[in-house]
Amino acid sequence: MRSTPFFFAALSLCASAAALHSAPREPIATAVLDLDYVDTSGESKDQTTEHARRLREFTEALGRDLAASGKYRIVPMACGARPCSSRDAMDELQSAARAAGARLVVLGGVHKMSTLVQWAKIKIADMEADRIILDRLLSFRGDNDDSWRRAESFVAADIAALSPDAKGAEAQPKKLAVFDFELQDFSGGAGIIAESADDSQQLRRATQAARKLIAGSERYALVDVASAEDQPVKAHELRQCDGCDAPIALKLGADQSLVGIVTRITRTDYAVTFRLRDARTGELISVGQTDLRIGANYSWDRGASWLIEKRLLAKQGP
What local confidence, expressed as pLDDT, does residue 190 receive? 56
Query: Residue 193's pLDDT is what?
Result: 59
| Averaged pLDDT, 209-216 | 94
> How many Cα atoms occupy the beta-carbon half-sphere of 216 within 13 Å?
9
Is a pLDDT exceeding 80 seen at residue 298? no
Which of 160, 193, 222 is the C-terminal boundary of a domain?
160
Q: What is the DSSP string of 53-74?
A: HHHHHHHHHHHHHHHHTTSEEE
Q: Which domain holds residue 46?
A: 6-160
Residues 116 and 200 in one domain: no
One domain for residues 284 and 204: yes
Distance CA 277, CA 246 (A): 6
The mean predicted confidence, pLDDT, of the chain is 82
Residue 42 located in a structural domain: yes
Answer yes or no: do 143 and 185 share one domain.
Answer: no
Q: Are residues 142 and 188 in the same domain?
A: no
Higher confidence at residue 285 or residue 17? 285
Pairing state between β 270-278 and 284-292: antiparallel
Question: Could you tell me if residue 165 is inside a domain?
Answer: no
Q: What percent of the chain has pLDDT over 90?
A: 47
Select from 141, 112, 135 the least CA-distant residue to 122: 135
**Residue 166 belongs to some domain of the structure:** no
> Which CATH number covers residue 147?
3.40.50.10070
Question: Is the residue at 142 inside a domain?
Answer: yes
| Surface-to-core class of residue 45, CB atoms within 10 Å of its CB (0-12 exposed, 13-18 middle, 19+ buried) | exposed
- Could you report the per-residue pLDDT of 137-148, keeping only the tens digit for each? 777 888 999 999
| Burial (Cβ within 10 Å: 0-12, 13-18, ≥19) of residue 49 | exposed
Helices (H), the chain: 6-10, 48-68, 90-100, 145-160, 197-215, 231-234, 245-251, 300-307
Give helix then strand counts, H and E, for the chain: 8, 14
Q: Write down which residue in 107, 130, 160 finishes a domain.
A: 160
Both 196 and 60 in a single domain?
A: no
- Whether residues 73 and 126 fall in one domain: yes
Give yes or no: residues 183 and 303 share one domain.
Answer: yes
233: CATH: 3.40.50.10610
Residue 86 resides in a domain: yes
C-alpha pair distances (Å), 264 with each of 120, 182, 261, 294: 16, 11, 10, 12
pLDDT confidence tier of residue 163, bands split at 50, 70 and 90: low
Q: Is the same domain home to 182 and 207?
A: yes
Is 236 a domain residue? yes
* Cα radius of gyration rounded to whole Å, the chain: 20
156 and 117 in one domain? yes
Last residue of a domain, one of 117, 133, 160: 160
Same domain, 148 and 222: no
Q: Given the DSSP bridges, would you call strands 174-178 and 220-223 parallel, antiparallel or unpaired?
A: parallel
Picking from 40, 46, 33, the residue whose alpha carbon sits closest to that of residue 75 is 33
Neighbours of 198 (CB within 10 A): 11
- Higher pLDDT pick, 21 / 78: 78
Domain count, the chain: 2
Asked whether the predicted pLDDT for residue 152 surpasses 60, the reply is: yes
pLDDT band at 194 (very low <50, low <70, confident <90, very high): low
Is the domain of 236 the same as that of 300? Answer: yes
How much is the pLDDT for 43? Answer: 87
Q: What is the dihedral angle through the alpha carbons of 204, 205, 208, 214, rounded to the nearest 10 degrees? A: -120
199 in a structural domain = yes
What ranges in 4-104 are assigned the alpha helix state H? 6-10, 48-68, 90-100
Q: Which of 15-19, 41-45, 178-182, 189-193 has the highest mean pLDDT?
A: 178-182
pLDDT band at 197 (very low <50, low <70, confident <90, very high): confident
Nearest CA to 222 among 242, 208, 238, 241? 208
Q: What is the pTM of this model?
A: 0.51
pLDDT digits (tens, 9 = 90+) for 99-109: 999 999 999 99
Judged against a pLDDT cut of 90, whether residue 32 lies above it is answered with yes
Is 181 found in the same domain as 89? no
CA dihedral 164, 243, 202, 303 (to 10 degrees): -20
Q: Is residue 94 part of a domain?
A: yes
Mean pLDDT, to the nearest integer, of 252-277? 89
